[in-house]
Amino acid sequence: MREIDWKALHLEAISAMKRAYAPYSKFPVGAAAVVDDGRIVSGSNVENASYGLTLCAECGLVSALIASGGGKLIAFTCVDIAGNYLMPCGRCRQLLHEHGGSELQVMTDTGIKPLSELLPWAFGPEEMVRRLD
């Protein structure tokens, strides 16, 4: 298993948070992840006056992953304006599962957890394959 530099990942998430567009909530969020080929991808939240159109930092991160050649996420962190770890919402956990799987390592306030603990009984790509066969 690849050694993860969690400090560098945390700093990248903070850097992404500083680029967030959060004029309405004043709650910028940054996310960063390591890809299986060693790249780091990041994203920040992008708000919209029509709140339902707001994009989470995780959405930006996954878009950056796909735009930069794809791959599998292996380690993930998300932070607020003070650099505190944030837990992705259920929607974003599902998005992360699609691109990292249940073994994706997620930094939490209580340490590193596999996504399988944070999104039990997840429905992912392997389910689609199994059900379509």
| Residue 88 is assigned to a structural domain of this protein | yes
Exactly one of 58, 98, 126, 127 is catalytic; name it.
58
Pairing of strands 40-44, 73-79: unpaired
Residue 132 scores a pLDDT above 90: no
Pairing of strands 105-108, 111-114: antiparallel
| Residue 1 is assigned to a structural domain of this protein | no
User: 58 an active-site residue?
Assistant: yes
* pLDDT-derived band at 35, boundaries 50, 70, 90: very high
Q: What is the CATH number of the domain that holds 38?
A: 3.40.140.10
pLDDT of amino acid 45: 98
Structural domain that includes position 122: 6-132
| Residue 59 is assigned to a structural domain of this protein | yes
Q: How many domains does the chain have?
A: 1
CA dist 103 → 75, 76, 106, 113, 124 (Å): 9, 11, 9, 9, 12
